[in-house]
Amino acid sequence: MGQLAAFIVLSIVTLAAAVVVVGSGNIVRSALSLIPTFLGITGIYILLQAEFVAGIQVLIYAGAITVLILFVIMLTEHGSGVRFRQVNEQVPLGMIVAGALAAFLIATFVTTAWPTSSGALPQYTASGVGTTFMTNMVLVFEATSLVLLVALIGAIVIARRER
């Protein structure tokens, strides 16, 4: 019961902030609304006993990516961007597509009988995640680190001012 109440509160925080991200005409307000969205999702992760993923979510998303987005907004728009029209002419079409997809997905999720397991997660998942990364998933781990390196170098090369 308490879990359901926590879930409802976290969902409302997440979805309300996400609506501001999507709908606000002020781009800085959109970017700052990403922070409550990501923190609400962090709460959802904690509710799902994924405390390591929750910590990484706070560090990477709420910390790094939001700051990066704010930096790029300040470097390009010179402020909030309220002088410009922020949406294109596809608003009715986008609403129809997003609403139809949401209705379809929710109808599918409600009517499908999901296989549920009676087992439980370990009490602390962080060490299990580390063990999985270093044993079964070591190739994925190395490939991800390579992708990270390539993306870092690529971002520097792309964003560098050419002389």
Partner 1 sequence: MQLGLVHFLILSALLFCLGLYAVLTRRNAVAILMGIELMLNAANINLVAFNKYVAPAALNGHVFALIVITLAACEAGVGLALVLSAYRNLETVHVDEINVMKW
Among 9, 79, 95, 124, interactor with partner 1 by CB under 8 A: 95
Residue pair 30/59 in contact (Cβ under 8 Å)? The answer is no
DSSP state of 89: T
Residues 21-80 that bind partner 1 (CB under 8 A): 21-22, 27, 30-31, 34, 37-38, 41, 44-45, 47-50, 52-53, 56-57, 60-61, 64-65, 68-69, 71-73, 75-77
Compute the least distance from the CB of residue 20 to partner 1, in Å: 10
Kindly tell me the burial class for residue 56, based on how many C-beta atoms sit within 10 Å of its own C-beta (0-12, 13-18, 19 or more): middle
Q: Name the residue among 22, 140, 31 with its Cα closest to residue 86.
A: 22
Are 38 and 15 in contact by the 8 Å Cβ rule? The answer is no
Min. distance of Cβ 23 from partner 1 in angstroms?
Answer: 9
Residues near partner 1 (CB under 8 A), total: 85
Q: Which of residues 142-161 bind partner 1 (CB under 8 A)?
A: 144, 147-148, 151-152, 154-156, 158-159, 161
Which residue in 9, 79, 86, 142 binds partner 1 (CB under 8 A)?
86
Q: What is the DSSP letter of 120?
A: -
